[in-house]
Amino acid sequence: MWQYYFNSLMTSVPFFLKGLWVTVQVAGISLIGSTLFGFCLGMARTIRLRALKFAIAGYVDLIRGTPFLVQLFIVFFILPEWGLQVEAFSAAVLSLTIYGTAYVSEIVYGGIETIPPGQTEAAVATGLSWLQRMRFVVLPQAMRPIIPPLVGQYVLIIKDTSVVSVIGLTDVTRVGWLTVQRIPEGLMVFGLVGVLYFCICYPLILLSNWCETRLAGGGTGIRL
């Protein structure tokens, strides 16, 4: 029986790869969007403008304080009530971008905060504009603390794309869910789903670790 299910699962591997392609598309677009908007908001948060600061901090808290599943439901079920029709793919990308932007902006803001204020003061004194200061003085130095957690955040966002399967988008997780109705071997089916996610996420985790040791210097190497 097990052998039969295994062969049957092997014949449906192409569907899993198709699902993986949907996952990659959703994740790719959302990651690009989150990075773009996240960097903008993170930099904007360092501007000395109380209202702006509070607005961005409030947005970050709203996103960090609620589950992504609930945010997805709000975008998918409530926007149509307000007359904005979104189909599953756009809803998924939109909610993932809103979600990812908050976390990326927090990382960028945190990274910029680690730069000693003397750097900015010196840049101001040499007459650089805000954009020039960011571009030539602050960001190049801030990338060091930003990149490792940013890559880590990418992994989290890629994993969170699995949640969009519940609004009917046929990503890997949904393919698994559909397959398990036909091949009732959950361990096998979701084992395969897990392997596919692992192939994407694990190299990124290694990259994040590598960046961390590379950019920050190693730990104490304690052994128990």
Partner 1 sequence: MIEALNLRVIVEYLPLFLNGLGATAWISLLSLLGALLVGIAACVARLSRISALSGPAVAYIEIIRSTPLLAQLYFYYFGLPGLGLRLTELQTGILALTLNSGAYTAEILRAGVLSIPSGQLEAATASGLTFFQRLRHIVLPQAIGVTIPALLGQMIVLVKDSALLALISVMELTRAGQLLASERFMPAEGFFTTAALYLLIYFMLKLLSGWWQKRLIFQTI
Rg (C-alpha) for the chain, rounded Å, is 21
Write each residue from 117 to 156 as x if it is in contact with partner 1 (CB under 8 A), else as -, in one continuous string. Answer: --------------------------------------x-
Nearer to partner 1 by Cβ, of 100 and 176: the residue is: 176
Two tokens, residue 215 = 């950019």
Residue from 81, 127, 131, 217 in contact with partner 1 (CB under 8 A): 81
DSSP one-letter code for 81: G
The dihedrals phi and psi of 220, each to the nearest 5 degrees, come to -90, -10
Residue from 26, 92, 169, 193 in contact with partner 1 (CB under 8 A): 193
Nearer to partner 1 by Cβ, of 120 and 161: the residue is: 161
Residue from 16, 33, 56, 68 in contact with partner 1 (CB under 8 A): 68
Number of residues this chain uses to bind partner 1 (CB under 8 A): 50
Residue 64 interacts with partner 1 (CB under 8 A)?
yes
Shortest distance, CB of residue 189 to partner 1, whole angstroms?
A: 7
Shortest distance, CB of residue 50 to partner 1, whole angstroms?
A: 20
Non-local CB neighbours of 104 within 8 Å, separated by 6+ positions: 34, 35, 37, 38, 39, 42, 150, 153
* Most distant pair of Cα atoms in the chain: their distance: 76
Shortest distance, CB of residue 176 to partner 1, whole angstroms?
A: 6
d(CA 189, CA 211): 34
Residue from 51, 125, 131, 187 in contact with partner 1 (CB under 8 A): 187
Residue 74 interacts with partner 1 (CB under 8 A)?
yes
Contact assessment for residue 72 and residue 164, using Cβ atoms and an 8 Å cutoff:
yes
Q: Which stretch binds partner 1 (CB under 8 A): 27-35, 88-96, 136-144, 161-169?
A: 161-169
Write the burial class of residue 199 (CB in 10 Å: 0-12 exposed, 13-18 middle, 19+ buried): exposed
Q: What is the 3-state secondary structure (H, E, C) of 13-76?
A: HHHHHHHHHHHHHHHHHHHHHHHHHHHHHHHHCCCCCHHHHHHHHHHHHHHHCCCHHHHHHHHH
Residue 18 interacts with partner 1 (CB under 8 A)?
no
Which residues contact partner 1 by CB under 8 A?
Answer: 61-62, 64-71, 73-74, 77-78, 81-82, 155, 159-163, 165-166, 172-173, 176-177, 180, 184-191, 193-194, 197-198, 201-202, 205, 219-224
